[in-house]
Structure 1
């Protein structure tokens, strides 16, 4: 088995939804294995955009991405990526307890906005089939928020309303 390495893929994308979609397409196209980590990263500066990072041991992956016209570099653009692909992500659907979420996936911790400490492992979490944890100090952490009935839900919503949608 080849040791995994990290690649940054810059497709010049402007929004997270398009980046998520491309990340999932590339994972399928490149036949990336289940344990792959795929993240989005907000790049600032002269040309703000969303880049992707992939951990992969698939032979020829870098070359295939370059051949498709993507700008590809070794390493991740930063240490705080937003994970879209990660071990167990496909099993985080419906309503689970915090304990089930942690045991079924690579997520290391759950934090709740406005609350000190960690939530009780028995607390129900309504995933909305959209769980996007972020790397924080080398740990994959899901930020959640309180929901009705003592439940939690991931802070990031699956279909955000675009800014100024009513104009």
Structure 2
């Protein structure tokens, strides 16, 4: 995860095993640490001998993360410099809280740190006046240093973020 506005990054190893669990942990830590809205908080899938979801925090000022590092280490988390990988899934980012209801893509981009929206299955950029139903769950990912939201077509000629806020677990009906 590398972006010019947030050059200081720490990675936090966790025992979270699902994205939902990691999202809640990241949001709880951000509230507990009183992190400013300018901080980026991402989840990262770790696929080693102990599959889990790690976290990263990135900020424009080192003192913000120094305090977070000290407090997280005191709580027993393993904290290291840098993100676990370059493709974090952003949960916390500037403007994330303003992405509620239905917005045009122009509004979405103006209100948040998201750089671009792509639509699955289409090579073209979506029209700026296209409406996105946020479902209050907008999770863009870092791609080549840009925060990109993957969306998909939905009812009524709208878009929705690709990631469903309430996914059905595999084999839920068995």
* TM superposition score normalised by structure 2: 0.92
- TM-fit CA distance, 1:69: 1.0
- TM-fit CA distance, 1:153: 0.4
CA offsets 1:62-82 (integer angstroms, 9 cap, x no match): 111011111111110110000
Query: Which is further off, 48-57 or 142-151?
Result: 48-57
- TM-fit CA distance, 1:45: 1.6
Distance (whole Å) between structure 1 residues aligned to residue 103 and residue 141 of structure 2? 19
Q: Does 1:128 align with 2:131?
A: no
CA offsets 1:87-131 (integer angstroms, 9 cap, x no match): 000000000001100111000000000111110000010000000
Unaligned runs of 5+ in 2: 1-5
Match of residue 16, structure 1, among 3, 16, 19: 19
Match of residue 150, structure 1, among 157, 160, 167: 157
Q: Does 1:77 align with 2:84?
A: yes
Match of residue 70, structure 2, among 60, 63, 77: 63
Paired residues, number:
165
| Regions of 4+ moved over 4 Å | none
* TM-align CA RMSD: 1.1
Match of 2:3 in 1: none
Match of residue 95, structure 1, among 91, 102, 111: 102
Distance (whole Å) between structure 1 residues aligned to residue 81 and residue 162 of structure 2? 30
* DSSP 3-state at the match of 2:15: strand
Distance (whole Å) between structure 1 residues aligned to residue 171 and residue 76 of structure 2? 33
Q: Does 1:32 align with 2:35?
A: yes
Match of residue 113, structure 2, among 103, 106, 114: 106
CA offsets 1:15-70 (integer angstroms, 9 cap, x no match): 00000000000000001001110000001121111000001442421111011111
Unaligned runs of 5+ in 1: none
Distance (whole Å) between structure 2 residues aligned to residue 67 and residue 166 of structure 1? 42
Query: Which is further off, 154-163 or 55-64?
Result: 55-64
